[in-house]
A and B are shown apart, each in its own frame.
Chain A
């Protein structure tokens, strides 16, 4: 069973991967779903390649918490090399979901995650999808597809509308189209990984 509202998401990635944009798209999708929302970047010096975080909150009531998400229902990692450098799984709720962008579901990086029984791990090769379709390593839209697969409150069509609307403001139609395809491919190619609980605890 996936989590119903409210849902709090914490994003981890590196500057340039579209972390803040992804968080914002998710928030816009939440608006389209008729919900209250918040997308808040974690504020540091934003520079290309530096670890950055963002938070998304989706709720049926107005969101009043304005600060970091300490106990996320979902953690989304756009760059698996952050695992071990940043405590990405910190505070993940007991039945929480972690989604990682990686080409290799058997990678040692994933084994470093300290997951608990009941927590779910999903992976997708979002970078590969992005490079193939968008011609740039911006893994954010494919990984939103995985979110739509894991959390039924926002379906893939709602997410697609949000991407279309937000990206059409700044990008040409072919780029928007590539991102919409990437979203669906991410959704379809996501893999649920059996977690070895406490392997590294």
Chain B
């Protein structure tokens, strides 16, 4: 097998692929952004998002895109520029990480409340202090209630494939919400891997043009965006967002399927590994999937019937899909890569507990906190987690407190 042979390989839809690239997750996202060629990209550089905007600004400088690239003074301004551009009828994208996301927090809600289909690539990173630039999901959890559909990939390939799908999800008329394409900081953004890309024209055709029904600079229109709503209709507008979020779930499914059909790489809201005959399971988000799968393989070799569920669509949380995946499972270990201080359970545990609470034979849950601030979690630790979940399945006693994997 050589790359030249690979070049002629046809995916399921019969198109001829460009050669595979050895690029990292950040460059893979920038590649998709170049192909989509949004009208506006506004961003402020922050580690580990920098690969995306460095590469994309090269494309701008080289004249490979028609994008208006705005070097803003902060992330708050980045999201504000995207809000303005999208309200004016353009297609806009941005990218950020951890503290950058925190700084644009106000505007996250403005973007979703104004129902503007912005695409953001979030390179997950811890929050300071103490200062840390590495990966965890504190930022992901920090925006989970802001009415943004959020997809979390596990590899540079998925970061690319999802990036291709994102605008069509956001701009769907039954959704009209900003969307986040999450890629784990460093472990995906900086990991150079083999990435199969699509031809430019295929992505352009798939993404199409953004065609809003109303926009702020529409001639003759009296539409206004983000005006004072006080106690007149604010409540009703928020209720509408609930529906938009609900609608987005099936739109995400359809659009991931559509991209999967072109690439030959299926993508599901919830990805399962060895779940068919599993009695217990681990549930994970993002790029730790590989190490978890390695641990599952080890445990299987030791005769333990364990599987893995990876949740790709984090918001809206795919309750029905998760329940289906966990049907008949006795005990589940939930892998949380962020702490929700002072809450009765960390983020993913809360979601699992709420989703499964009315299942007739709900699985018992135990929470594992791991990988904070980029702490590497070798497969042996996930293998230990499997043993603890197995033990819980036998004792039928759920612990009140989370376990901390790899804490010194």
Contacts and interface: CB of A to CB of B under 8 A. Distances in A.
Contacts of A27: 22, 192-193
Interface stretch (B64-72, B105-113, B286-294): B286-294
Given A32-B3, A67-B291, A24 B190 contact: no
A40 B289 contact: no
A39 B192 contact: yes
A32 B194 CA distance: 10
B190 A43 contact: yes
Residue of A34, A43, A62, A70 with most partner-chain B CB within 10 A: A43
B194 A40 contact: no
B167 interface: no
B191 A39 contact: yes
A41 interface: yes
Contacts of A40: 186-187, 190-192
Interface string A9-31: 00000000000000110011011
B287 to A, nearest CB: 5
A33 B22 CA distance: 12
Contact of B1 (A30, A34, A39, A68): A34
Contacts of B6: 34
Nearest to A24: B192
A66 B287 contact: yes
Contacts of A43: 48, 133-134, 186, 190, 374
A64 B2 contact: no
Contacts of B294: 64-65
Interface string B185-227: 0111011111000000000000000000000000000000000
Most chain B CB within 10 A, of A28, A39, A64, is at A64
A99 B126 CA distance: 36
Nearest to A28: B22
A107 to B, nearest CB: 32
A42 to B, nearest CB: 9
Interface string B1-24: 111011000000000000011100
A36 B288 CA distance: 18
Given A37-B192, A43-B133, A70 B378 contact: yes
B377 interface: yes
Contacts of A63: 193, 290
21 contacts: A23-B192, A27-B22, A31-B22, A31-B194, A32-B3, A37-B22, A39-B192, A40-B190, A41-B186, A43-B133, A43-B134, A43-B374, A63-B290, A64-B293, A65-B290, A65-B291, A65-B379, A66-B184, A67-B187, A67-B290, A67-B376
